[in-house]
Amino acid sequence: METIDKIKEQISENPILLYMKGSPKLPSCGFSSQASQALMACNEQFAYVDILQNPEIRAELPKYADWPTFPQLWVDGELVGGCDIILEMFQQGELQELIKETAEKHKAE
């Protein structure tokens, strides 16, 4: 499977997906740590992909997303953004709302 197809599949199969360095419980960079903590604070399930374990995704995703850095949060197939955007949305209460709505919508499906 082509890397881009794999990325598209991951994004379509996981309504809330964080591409990050490491895992939510053991992040490998400060930005990934902050982003995953904000997501965990929303109290909904989310998927993640450790780009350090997937160098091909690490290489291809920035081109596909037109977003150069990690972490990257994808919700319902749309790129939300990176760490700064995630934290800003969290502080304004927008992230919690988006994550909750998305989780509820997909539980109903």
List, in order of start, the domains of the chain with CATH numbers. 3-101 (3.40.30.10)
73 SS3 class: strand
Share of the chain above pLDDT 70, in %: 100
- In order of 1, 27, 105, 108, the CA distances from 70 in angstroms are 23, 12, 26, 30
**What is the pTM for the complete model shown?**
0.96
CA dihedral 32, 88, 74, 40 (to 10 degrees): 60
User: E-assigned strands of 6-108?
Assistant: 16-20, 47-50, 72-75, 78-81
Q: Letter for the amino acid at 66?
A: D
pLDDT at res. 45: 95
For 7-59, how does the pLDDT look when each residue is reduced to its tens digit (9 = 90+)?
999 999 999 999 999 999 999 999 999 999 999 999 999 999 999 999 999 99
